[in-house]
Amino acid sequence: MSESRREALLAGLGTAALVVLVAALGWLGLRSGDLAAGPVPSATPTASIASPGPTTPRPTPTVTASATPTLVEPDAALTEAFDEEVARLGGSYALAWLDAEGLHLLGSAPGSTAWSTIKVPLSVAALEADPGAATWTDVEAALTRSDNAAADALWAGLGDPEAAAAAVDAVLTAYDSPATRTESERVSPPFSPYGQTVWSVTDAARFAGALACAPAATTAGEVRQVMSDVVADQRWGIGELDSAHLKGGWGPEGGGAYVLRQLGDGQVGTERFALALSARAEDGVYASAAGDVTGLVRWWAETVAPEREGLTCQE
């Protein structure tokens, strides 16, 4: 159990003791109102505790997957093989990954809108500001089920839109995506402002690499752990890999065709890689793109990753 969740549980136990005390006082003739309790932060809440009291947020450390994860010149044969896979599928696809050599990119991204992948740095920012049980509940709903209402609550908890965007930007900068700027205005109603953030697939891969290197006891490390519990019907793509941590996002772009985004990390054999993807199926349908991305990640894991050394984290 993580330290922050342990604190939330202890606070809940303290509340339970308070309920017993109030009941005893009521027996003595005193009156009291009902004491409300929120759900335990978990992917599928089964019990109830109260939100913990104020705690001191931990600062966001600067973490990098390597000293400078620069873009590596693509191998011609590998590029041709990927293009053949894409031609067979139709549509438009990009796959970026980070390994010991650096950052790699295959294909051309059909869109750069972050959609729900931005919920990852948003979750880190929200927990940095308030690591209480209510925040944890929203984080787990936003990351494991991509719950939009929960993400909106995290966003609102960071202040006005400009302040919220700045808080998310601080996380992006700390985790190797300093060029990305979180959208603060609702530029595409009814979609959230933060979901319309422009986030390149390469910068998303850099972020995923830095997140994979975050120590487990940090807020980012705890958020990454939640990303291992994504529900089954959203575990396409990177979810094909062993020990996967992932977050997907999707939405209509370019005349209504769905673009899918995903970032995360996973293992191939004993090596760990960070990845990011952007995809639009030939028919523009979500389910088609999800299936295609799963096939592309499987192809990459079988033909590309085994020949490479995985992610290295800076000490």
pLDDT in tens, 35-57: 222 222 233 232 222 333 334 55
* pLDDT reported for residue 51: 33
Q: What is the residue-averaged pLDDT of the chain? A: 84
Alpha-carbon gap, residue 74 to 190, rounded angstroms = 39
Q: Helix, strand, or coil here: 5?
A: helix
pLDDT reading at 264 higher than 90:
yes
Greater confidence, 13 or 170?
170
Q: How far is CA 84 from the centre of its chain?
A: 30
* pLDDT reported for residue 67: 56
Neighbours of 37 (CB within 10 A): 16
Listed range (38-42, 194-198, 219-223, 270-274) with the worst mean pLDDT: 38-42
* Domain ranges (residues) in the chain: 3-49, 76-307
The pTM assigned to this predicted structure is: 0.81
pLDDT reading at 31 higher than 80:
no
pLDDT tens digits for range 291-303: 999 999 999 999 9
* pLDDT reported for residue 110: 96
* pLDDT reported for residue 197: 98
* pLDDT reported for residue 69: 79
What are the two backbone dihedrals, phi and then psi, of residue 192, each rounded to the nearest 5 degrees? -65, 155
Average pLDDT value for residue range 202-209: 98
What kind and span of H or E run contains 126?
helix 119-129
Q: Which CATH number fits domain 76-307: 3.40.190.10, 3.40.710.10, 3.30.2130.10, 3.40.50.2020?
A: 3.40.710.10
For the chain, strand residue ranges (E) read: 38-39, 48-49, 92-98, 103-107, 242-253, 257-268, 271-280
Contact 123, 154 (CB under 8 A): yes
Greater confidence, 25 or 165?
165
Average pLDDT value for residue range 44-72: 51
- Look up residue 14 and give its amino acid: G
Contact 149, 192 (CB under 8 A): no
pLDDT tens digits for range 225-259: 999 999 999 999 999 999 999 999 999 997 899 99
Average pLDDT value for residue range 14-19: 40
Contact 210, 65 (CB under 8 A): yes
pLDDT reading at 313 higher than 70:
yes
- Look up residue 300 and give its amino acid: W
* pLDDT reported for residue 255: 86
* pLDDT reported for residue 58: 56
pLDDT tens digits for range 74-98: 899 999 999 999 999 999 999 999 9
Residue 59: pLDDT band (50, 70, 90) is low
pLDDT tens digits for range 108-160: 999 999 999 999 999 999 999 999 999 999 999 999 999 999 999 999 999 99
* pLDDT reported for residue 179: 96
pLDDT reading at 16 higher than 70:
no
Contacts of 3 (CB under 8 A, 6+ apart): 217
- Quote the tokens at residue 295: 């096939």
**DSSP string covering 210-264:** HHHTS-TTSHHHHHHHHGGG--GGG--GGGGSEEEEEEEEEEEETTTEEEEEEEE
Residue 2: pLDDT band (50, 70, 90) is low
Alpha-carbon gap, residue 128 to 141, rounded angstroms = 17
pLDDT reading at 10 higher than 90:
no
Residue 15: pLDDT band (50, 70, 90) is very low
pLDDT reading at 18 higher than 70:
no
* pLDDT reported for residue 223: 98
